[in-house]
């Protein structure tokens, strides 16, 4: 079963493992999704670290 993601360029449904978007030819259409999940994870991690520091400091 292949997971579908939305192409960052043409917003069409593309296979998660696709190297090229079959609709617009965009390279690695899942790159945007990858980036966002990484950013969200980084922010959550940062919040946890800051919360941890505050809890420890006060
Ligand atoms: Zn596309």
The three-class DSSP label of residue 5 is strand
Give the residue from 3, 38, 35 showing the smallest Cα distance to 17: 3
Ligand 1 centroid to residue 4 C-alpha, Å: 12
Neighbours of ion ligand 1 (CB under 5 A): 7, 9-10, 21, 23-24, 26
Ligand 1 centroid to residue 48 C-alpha, Å: 35
For 10, residues 6+ apart whose C-beta sits below 8 A from its C-beta are: 21, 23, 24, 26
- State pTM to two decimals: 0.46
pLDDT tens digits along 4-57: 888 888 889 988 888 888 999 888 766 656 677 888 999 999 999 999 999 987
Amino acid 16: pLDDT: 83
Amino acid 50: pLDDT: 96
| Number of domains the chain is built from | 1
Domain holding 8, by residue range, is 4-57
Ligand 1 centroid to residue 13 C-alpha, Å: 8
Ligand 1 centroid to residue 53 C-alpha, Å: 43
Q: What are phi and psi of 7, to 5 degrees?
A: -60, 135
Amino acid 36: pLDDT: 76
């Amino acid at each position: 079963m292949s997971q579908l993601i939305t192409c960052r360029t043409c917003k069409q449904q593309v296979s998660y493992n696709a190297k090229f978007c079959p609709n617009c030819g965009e390279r690695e259409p899942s790159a945007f999704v990858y980036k966002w999940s990484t950013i969200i994870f980084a922010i959550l991690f940062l919040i946890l670290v800051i919360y941890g520091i505050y809890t420890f400091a006060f």
